[in-house]
Amino acid sequence: MYVGRDMTELSMTKKNDWRDEELTYFHHSLQQMAPYLNEEGTSMHREIIKEIEARGGLKRNEADWTHGTEVKYD
């Protein structure tokens, strides 16, 4: 479960001030709703993707004994 700032607060915050967990959580959420997003939602999702890319992407690419390959944003 995500515990953090909500989209109302984050929408007034520059993307480079968002924490990694916030970017990951809202990227996943908006990705799931992509077919239903209006222009503003699509623009927000695009900005989140650009910030993730600017930070070098989502980090966990390999599984090990204690972690899977899916990024957890909890």
Residue 27 vs residues 31, 57, 66: alpha-carbon distances, Å: 6, 12, 24
**For 26-67, how does the pLDDT look when each residue is reduced to its tens digit (9 = 90+)?**
999 999 999 999 999 999 999 999 999 999 987 765 666 666
Q: Which amino acid is at 6?
A: D
Residue 1 — pLDDT band, cuts 50, 70, 90?
Answer: confident
CA distance 9 to 49: 19
Q: Tell me the pTM.
A: 0.77
